[in-house]
């Protein structure tokens, strides 16, 4: 199995900065912005983007984590670390590390919609463009065309680290 580094730590940091600034530009009129990260690698991505949004944009960020079975979302519960009522009438951004088939984001957004938010957007570090579900990333760090047999592994810390990397495996 061969591996190719597609993003090094400095590149990841620049992409997170750009995503955060695009979010600030789009949501600058909001009093509170709800960032919901997908459990796993979505958490450090969301934490870092949230910190940038608060530091650069001055927006108040409410962060929570959504946990679901990524390979089979219908198996097991989908759980949100915050109360669903806090999302009613609010702007929400769902964040993950990689958008592959769209299944994880589709089920996450479906779960969030039951709370009645006024707006939902999605953000990912890497978009692989292999859609099986009608989901797109509103904010994306890198769009990469891969084949279906390849796998992208993101190694990212909750704060900027020289060990952050994204690797393509075939």
pTM for this structure? Answer: 0.92
Asked if 50 contacts 16 with a C-beta cutoff of 8 angstroms, the reply is no
- Tell the burial category of 34 from Cβ atoms under 10 Å away from its Cβ (0-12, 13-18, 19+): buried
Residue-wise pLDDT tens digits, 48-80: 999 999 999 989 999 999 999 888 877 888 899
DSSP per position, 81-116: SS-GGGGTT-EEEEEEEEESSSHHHHHHHHHHHTT-
Under CATH, what is the fold of the domain 12-146? Rossmann fold (3.40.50)
pLDDT value for 50: 97
Residue-wise pLDDT tens digits, 98-145: 998 888 999 999 999 999 999 999 999 999 887 778 889 999 999 988
User: Which segment of 37-41, 64-68, 164-168 scores lowest on mean pLDDT?
Assistant: 164-168
Torsions phi, psi for 139 (to 5 deg): -130, 130
Task: At 85, list the tokens.
Answer: 């009522």
Query: For the chain, what are the domain ranges?
Result: 12-146
């Amino acid at each position: 199995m061969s591996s190719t580094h597609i993003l090094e730590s400095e590149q990841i940091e620049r992409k997170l900065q750009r995503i955060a600034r695009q979010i600030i530009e789009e949501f600058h009129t909001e009093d509170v912005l709800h960032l919901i990260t997908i459990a796993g690698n979505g958490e450090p991505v969301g934490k870092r983007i949230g910190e940038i949004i608060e530091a650069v944009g001055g927006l108040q960020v409410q962060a929570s984590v959504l946990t679901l079975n990524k390979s089979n979302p219908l198996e097991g519960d989908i759980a949100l670390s915050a109360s669903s009522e806090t999302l009613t009438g609010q702007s929400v951004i769902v964040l993950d590390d990689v958008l592959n088939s769209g299944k994880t984001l589709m089920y996450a957004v479906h779960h969030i919609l039951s709370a009645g938010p006024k707006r939902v957007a999605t953000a990912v570090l890497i978009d692989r463009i292999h859609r099986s579900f009608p989901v797109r990333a509103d904010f994306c760090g890198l769009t990469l065309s891969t084949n279906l047999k390849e796998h992208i592994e993101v190694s990212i810390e909750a704060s900027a680290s020289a060990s952050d990397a994204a690797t393509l495996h075939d």
